[in-house]
Structure 1
Amino acid sequence: MATILVVDDELGIRALLSEILSDEGHTIELAENAAQARAVRERMRPDLVLLDIWMPDVDGITLLKEWGGAGLLTMPVIMMSGHGTIDTAVEATKFGAIAFLEKPITLQKLLRAVEQSLVKAAPRPAPAVGLPSSYSRSNELTPQYVAPSSHNVMPQSSLPSAGLASEQSFELDRPLREARDAFEKSYFEFHLAKENGSMTRVAEKTGLERTHLYRKLKQLGVDLSRNKRGAGI
């Protein structure tokens, strides 16, 4: 996962972006102005910067130019603005920004821009040794299911590294509510493990609002702590 610096003078936006990106497994550093952003950039090298254009002391474009002129633009920068124009976006790109997001920023656009920026910035991995040319990593991550028998349902997954049990049975000789709860618990545990504990992605996969999802998991007694990615997330 990446270390992302969020620079915005609005507390609400910093808090929201921090929550969403932390939930995705990233480490978040926050700055409310250019001075704080400079300090964070000097103290560490973030993998990505989300930079607001309109700030009270030094605007984002000026800070972007400053970093570029000093040779400090070693990380991708996504510019953000609630009053942006085509000219602003072009100017930001001209001075080194990799993308431009217009506020209010939708969840899908944010995650897509962050993912694409990190992919562009990441070095290409060395090819795996000893794997046939037809091998695809996507095959390794695709869950497989066996057909249900007359007495139980046994989903099998090829995701042991994600902490999923290779076999899970459900006793059907029980009250409907208990059987349904047991299935739903395993269903959500499967998706939590598959998405490495990302509540945002699980909500998207299952079609539930995050608040409803949290309430549902608590009701089912799902242990969220073991699905969190990394310490402090």
Structure 2
Amino acid sequence: MANILVVDDEMGIRELLSEILGDEGHVVTMAENAQQARQIRATSTPDLVLLDIWMPDTDGVTLLKEWQRDRMLTMPVIMMSGHATIDTAVEATRIGALNFLEKPISLQKLLKAVQQGLSRGQETVRAGTLSTMARPAPIPVVADAPPLAASAAVAHAVAGIAQPPAEAPRPPEEKGFSVSFELPLREARDAFERAYFEHHLQREGGSMTRVAERTGLERTHLYRKLKQLGVEPGKLGRRNG
């Protein structure tokens, strides 16, 4: 989960991005102009900023320059625009923007850019942390062990505790599901699909990316299907967490 700031003067775009990123488990803060963005940045440091270029008070490139000048450009920034030229995109990148997305933004490009931006931000934080710490002792590698077993082995090795015998992983308990055969076919099908998607959303912690992969649906189709069934991914993910 990351804290993401969306800066765009169009309310529809702000709400759409907030809904998509919220479904991915992120906390989204919205600003409709550069002044609001300045106030938010003055009191907090987002993990990532999605910044529109053309805004009525101050354009995104100018705001980016301000943050760079004031040494506040410490987070990845992705620029967005539907009218920017190549020169504008190049200038934003030169100043310090990580990426540029052209509107209308496709879902796949948005999620890929956000993932890359958050990864870059985490790498920067790790690099800064390691530079102020002594070099850590090497951690033994457990070969051919499942992830949970490997994590336990590493924890015991670091603590100097003998590793207990490995236990076979236990399958998660499945919630029972039943539907009345007296229901009309469409209602029975909707009831099953609702339970099916709720199960996978809880299992994957609300991640739409993993649910789409597991169910074999394209993300846009998955969003439409959940909305049609009245399933709210964000609530299910938080409940599971």
1:55 aligned onto 2:55: yes
Q: Is the 8 A contact 1:7 1:37 kept in 2?
A: yes
Change (3 A) 1:182 1:6: closer
> What's the CA shift string for 1:178-232, capped at 9, x where partnerless?
997886566424421233124575356442442332333x5xxx7968622279x
Residue equivalent to 1:215 = 228
Q: Distance in 1 between matches of 2:89 and 2:70?
A: 22
1:132 aligned onto 2:145: no
1:193 aligned onto 2:240: no
Q: Distance in 1 between matches of 2:38 and 2:149?
A: 43
Query: SS state of the match for residue 79, structure 1?
Result: strand
Q: Distance in 1 between matches of 2:70 and 2:232?
A: 47
Structure 2: state its 5+ residue gaps: 128-135, 151-168
Residue equivalent to 2:106 = 106
Shift of 1:53: 0.4
Question: Normalising to structure 1: TM-score of the pair?
Answer: 0.71
Change (3 A) 1:112 1:223: closer
Q: Is the 8 A contact 1:159 1:194 kept in 2?
A: no
Equivalent AA in structure 2 for residue 72 of structure 1: M
Shift of 1:54: 0.4
Residue equivalent to 1:45 = 45
Q: Distance in 2 between matches of 1:47 and 1:3?
A: 5
Q: Is the 8 A contact 2:25 2:234 kept in 1?
A: no
1:229 aligned onto 2:229: no
Residue equivalent to 2:82 = 82
Alpha carbon RMSD of aligned pairs, Å?
3.9
Query: SS state of the match for residue 122, structure 1?
Result: helix
1:152-171 to 2 correspondences below 5 Å: 165-167=172-174
Query: SS state of the match for residue 58, structure 2?
Result: coil
The range that moved more, 80-89 or 60-69, is: 80-89
1:91-102 to 2 correspondences below 5 Å: 91-102=91-102
Residue equivalent to 1:152 = none
Q: Is the 8 A contact 1:197 1:228 kept in 2?
A: yes
Residue equivalent to 2:32 = 32
Structure 1: state its 5+ residue gaps: 141-157
Q: Is the 8 A contact 1:53 1:80 kept in 2?
A: yes
Q: Is the 8 A contact 1:23 1:198 kept in 2?
A: yes
Q: Distance in 1 between matches of 2:236 and 2:57?
A: 41
Q: Is the 8 A contact 2:177 2:195 kept in 1?
A: no
Change (3 A) 1:133 1:181: same
Shift of 1:87: 1.6
Shift of 1:22: 1.0
> What's the CA shift string for 1:17-53, capped at 9, x where partnerless?
1111111111111111111000000111111100000
Shift of 1:56: 0.9
Q: Is the 8 A contact 1:53 1:61 kept in 2?
A: yes
Q: Is the 8 A contact 1:170 1:179 kept in 2?
A: no
Q: Distance in 2 between matches of 1:46 and 1:39?
A: 12
Q: Is the 8 A contact 2:6 2:51 kept in 1?
A: yes
Equivalent AA in structure 2 for residue 27 of structure 1: V
Q: Distance in 1 between matches of 2:32 and 2:235?
A: 33
Equivalent AA in structure 2 for residue 6 of structure 1: V
Q: Distance in 1 between matches of 2:138 and 2:198?
A: 30
Shift of 1:128: 9.7
Residue equivalent to 1:16 = 16
Change (3 A) 1:223 1:62: closer
> What's the CA shift string for 1:118-154, capped at 9, x where partnerless?
01111459999555044464999xxxxxxxxxxxxxx
